[in-house]
Amino acid sequence: MTINIRRIVTGVDARGQAVVVHDGSAPHTVSRPAMSVESALLWITDETPVDLSKYADPTNREIGVAPPPGGSILRVVDFLPNPNAKLDNTGFLKEMGLAHASASSMPAARHAFMHRTKSVDYAIVLSGEIDMLLDEGEVHLSAGDFLIQRGTNHAWVNRTNEVCRIAFILIDALDFPPPNGSPFPSASPT
């Protein structure tokens, strides 16, 4: 299986007229069989506000799962059914470009694919179903669900027989303050 996402990018020409700059398959796709995922990188920004005068394709580079400092990432990920889980947590973090997160700085992994990024992530489930595991508990998501992930430790597990496709927008963020003997503020549903 190979992910194929049509990516359309607009810009302006020399006269200042709106034009299509790119219309075709996303040029940067990754298959990670050990994690049962395939992804298409659609766009990256390196700063906020974004400099619209840059015309080079920002996806023509290797980048981990996290956005660049001050930037953002847009990618689509296909989570294949029944993950193989052939990686341990350390191997998974390295594969995802999160090797800087050492095991000593993270709680014991509930699942081999547990990870976190210093970002706010907007996840839009486009098709299928998936479970998001947290340090405590889990959430079941289905096509049409939106999730706002705020820098928390999590893992994605597809327990169905169908591919689950999710669009992710990750935006760099200031991290939670380190715990100083007191727990993080409690979350109360509204």
Which helix (H) or strand (E) segment holds residue 89: the answer is helix 89-95
Fold of the 6-11+28-172 domain: Jelly Rolls (2.60.120)
pLDDT of residue 186: 54
pTM above 0.85, yes or no: no
79-123 tens-digit pLDDT: 998 655 555 555 555 555 555 544 444 556 677 788 889 999 999
124-139 tens-digit pLDDT: 999 999 999 999 999 9
CB 67 within 8 A of CB 171: yes
Per-residue H/E/C for 49-75: CCCCCCCCCCCCCCCCCCCCCCCEEEE
Q: Exposed (0-12), middle (13-18) or buried (19+): which is 152, by Cβ within 10 Å?
A: middle
Give the integer Cα–Cα distance in Å for 62 and 60.
7
Q: Name the more confident of 106 and 147.
A: 147
- Long-range contacts of the stretch 5-10 (C-beta < 8 A, 24+): 5/29, 5/40, 5/42, 5/76, 7/40, 7/42, 7/43, 9/43, 9/57
Q: Exposed (0-12), middle (13-18) or buried (19+): which is 1, by Cβ within 10 Å?
A: exposed
